[in-house]
């Protein structure tokens, strides 16, 4: 259906949807065997859909899978294996990605002419004090522990040296005989290197970074291994998710970092967007239009810098399930009324605005952009009226689905009682 509507599918094989049996029976991504199971699954997808799908993403945001699944425990499987679980999970995910890439390269590429990449989430880290060498190094560590953790093995064959050094030193200080960061064998490094035909980048926000030493007796933690502190500027807009601040200039710096660090790879922006709080039913999401305008503009500057950005996808089309936040954070350009039976969707103002940006493939000029914004905000008032009517619609649904059947049942019961009363008086 996508192809019939001239939409090019980019398929993500793993967006955190681990079958429960693999978690319970094998320990999920703590088990190295997962690479084999995942590769078999990917191979089946290549076989069944490879004639129509030419862009494959093995994993979406493995950082969240590892850190939020096995360090903080905010996401499934909700384990808090401080300073070890996340590293083990990431190690197995990296090996699984490499196995899938080699499978495609050996068995399918010649026939299907597609590409296999990965989608890495990456915040940008900026030194609090750009004249302070310790802050500069801390900011570099922030990005290496975030993006470099996965990108460096897949493009260069091993973990970032700074990451290996810091985790090894912390592990030794804690009296461990070996580093909590697993190691790749020489064969694994060679097998891992250059296994991305493109790099997917999901980027949402930026942090100021400063050096902060965490004593090793504070316990094991991915976060304290980095010896840094994350800061935000309270003036940065943050309309939705508590972690998401709009800092557009960080996007350009991140994209240029990718270009220089990983040999100028082909980049697809696989996620970029902003949320609002659930209580917000306002379809006039001017904050989202501003976010898209500013971030896309920074991306276009990066393209002019020479960064090889081949595509951009906004996050996200519709309001949807946001993991541990449930439906309380809305990222969509379409508002979804989750309270109604058919989950009706209503376009927010960002829909016509984003349509104009992508159909123009950028920004013609300031005046044009402002007129797009004005027209977009005009449309949302009518959508708002429709949404306002929606309680009435859902009320009518309730009437037809609950009140009417209840009244009919009561009438039948009362008629039966009345009939029984009549019969008794006749006897």
Ligand X SMILES: CCCCCCCCCCCCC/C=C/[C@@H](O)[C@@H](N)CO[C@@H]1O[C@H](CO)[C@H](O)[C@H](O)[C@H]1O
Residue whose CB is less far from ligand X, 72 or 383: 72
Q: Does 124 bind ligand X (CB under 6 A)?
A: no
Q: Which two tokens stand for residue 68?
A: 């939020």
Query: In angstroms, rounded to a whole number, what is the distance separating the alpha carbons of residues 423 and 427?
Result: 6
Tell me which residue has tokens 């890495």.
Answer: 120
CB of 252 to ligand X, least distance (A): 18
Q: What residue is closest to ligand X based on CB?
A: 61
Taking the complex as a whole, how short is the minimal distance between the CB of residue 134 and ligand X, in angstroms?
A: 17
Q: How far is CA 251 from CA 27, 169, 204, 246, 295, in A?
A: 36, 32, 8, 10, 7
Q: Which of 12, 224, 290, 384 binds ligand X (CB under 6 A)?
A: 224
Smaller CB separation from ligand X, 157 or 200: 200
Q: Segment near ligand X (CB under 6 A), from 56-64, 192-200, 257-265, 401-409?
A: 56-64
User: Binding to ligand X by residue 179, rule CB under 6 A?
Assistant: no
Residues of this chain, 268-297, that bind ligand X according to CB under 6 A: 271
Instruction: Give the residue carrying structure tokens 């994993």.
Output: 59
Residue 270 vs 383, nearer CB to ligand X? 270
What is the CB-side half-sphere exposure of residue 393 using CA atoms within 13 A?
Answer: 13
How many residues touch ligand X under the rule CB under 6 A: the total is 16
As given in the structure block, the two tokens for residue 389 are 């009517």
377 by Cβ neighbours in 10 Å (0-12 / 13-18 / 19+) ranks as middle
Segment interacting with ligand X, rule: CB under 6 A, options 58-66, 177-185, 187-195, 388-396: 58-66
Q: With CB under 6 A as the contact rule, which of the stretches 60-68, 256-264, 276-284, 398-406 interacts with ligand X?
A: 60-68
- Per CB under 6 A, 223 contacts ligand X: yes
Q: Please state the closest distance from residue 90 (CB atom) to ligand X, in A.
A: 14
Measured CA to CA, the distance from residue 274 to residue 202 in angstroms comes to 12
The Cα 388–Cα 401 span in angstroms is 21
Q: What are the CB-based long-range contacts (under 8 Å, 24+) for 186-189?
A: 188/95, 189/153, 189/157, 189/158
Contact set for ligand X, span 311-370 (CB under 6 A): 315, 322-323, 331
Least spacing, CB of residue 229 vs ligand X, in Å? 7
- In angstroms, what is the minimal distance from the CB of 387 to ligand X? 23
At its nearest, how many Å lie between ligand X and the CB of residue 127?
A: 18
Q: Is 14 in the site for ligand X (CB under 6 A)?
A: no
Q: Please report whether residue 64 would count as binding ligand X according to CB under 6 A.
A: yes
376 contacts 289 by C-beta, under 8 angstroms: yes
Q: Quick check: 121 binds ligand X (CB under 6 A)?
A: yes
Is there a contact between 105 and 234 (Cβ–Cβ < 8 Å)?
no
Contact pick of 72, 210, 220, 246 for ligand X (by CB under 6 A): 72
The residues near 196 (Cβ < 8 Å, ≥ 6 apart) are 101, 116, 117, 118, 154, 155, 265
- SS3 of residue 239 by DSSP: coil
Question: Where along the sequence are the contacts to ligand X (CB under 6 A)?
Answer: 60-61, 64, 68, 72, 121, 202, 204, 223-224, 243, 271, 315, 322-323, 331
């Amino acid at each position: 259906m996508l192809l019939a509507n001239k939409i090019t599918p980019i398929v993500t094989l793993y967006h955190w949807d681990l079958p429960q049996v693999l978690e319970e029976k094998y320990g999920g991504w703590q088990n190295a065997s997962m690479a084999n199971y995942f590769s078999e699954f990917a191979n089946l997808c290549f076989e069944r859909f490879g004639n129509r799908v030419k862009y494959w993403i093995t994993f979406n945001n493995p950082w969240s899978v590892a850190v939020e699944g096995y360090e903080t425990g905010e996401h499934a499987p909700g384990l808090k294996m401080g300073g070890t679980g996340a590293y083990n999970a990431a190690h197995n995910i990296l090996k699984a990605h490499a196995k899938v890439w080699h499978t495609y390269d050996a068995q399918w590429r010649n026939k299907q002419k597609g590409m296999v990449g990965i989608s890495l989430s990456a915040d940008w880290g900026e030194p609090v004090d750009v004249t302070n060498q310790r802050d500069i190094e801390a900011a570099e560590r922030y990005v290496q522990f975030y993006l470099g953790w996965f990108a460096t093995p897949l493009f260069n064959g091993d973990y970032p040296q700074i990451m290996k050094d810091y985790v090894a030193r912390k592990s030794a200080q804690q009296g461990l005989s070996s580093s909590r960061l697993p190691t790749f064998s020489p064969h694994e490094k060679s097998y891992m290197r250059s296994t991305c035909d493109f790099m997917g980048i999901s980027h949402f926000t930026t942090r100021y970074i400063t050096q902060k030493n965490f004593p090793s007796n504070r316990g094991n933690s991915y976060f304290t291994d980095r010896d840094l502190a994350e800061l935000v500027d309270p003036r940065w807009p943050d309309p939705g998710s508590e972690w998401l601040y709009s800092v557009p200039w960080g996007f350009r710096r991140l994209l240029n970092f990718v270009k220089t660090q990983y040999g100028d790879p082909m980049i697809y922006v696989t996620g970029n967007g902003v949320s609002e709080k659930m209580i917000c039913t306002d379809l006039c999401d001017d904050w989202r239009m501003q976010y898209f305008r500013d971030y896309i503009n920074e991306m276009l500057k990066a393209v002019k810098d020479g960064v090889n950005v081949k595509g951009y996808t906004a996050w996200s089309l519709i309001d949807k399930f946001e993991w541990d936040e449930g439906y309380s954070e809305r990222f969509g350009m379409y508002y979804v009324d989750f309270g109604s039976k058919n989950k009706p969707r209503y376009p927010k103002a960002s829909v016509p605005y984003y349509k104009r940006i992508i159909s123009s493939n950028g920004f013609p000029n300031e005046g044009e952009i402002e007129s797009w914004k004005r027209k977009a905000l005009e449309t949302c008032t009518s959508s708002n009226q429709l949404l306002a009517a929606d309680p009435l619609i859902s009320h009518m649904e309730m009437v037809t689905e609950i009140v009417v059947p209840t009244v009919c049942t009561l009438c039948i019961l009362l008629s039966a009682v009345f009939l029984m009363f009549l019969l008794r008086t006749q006897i």
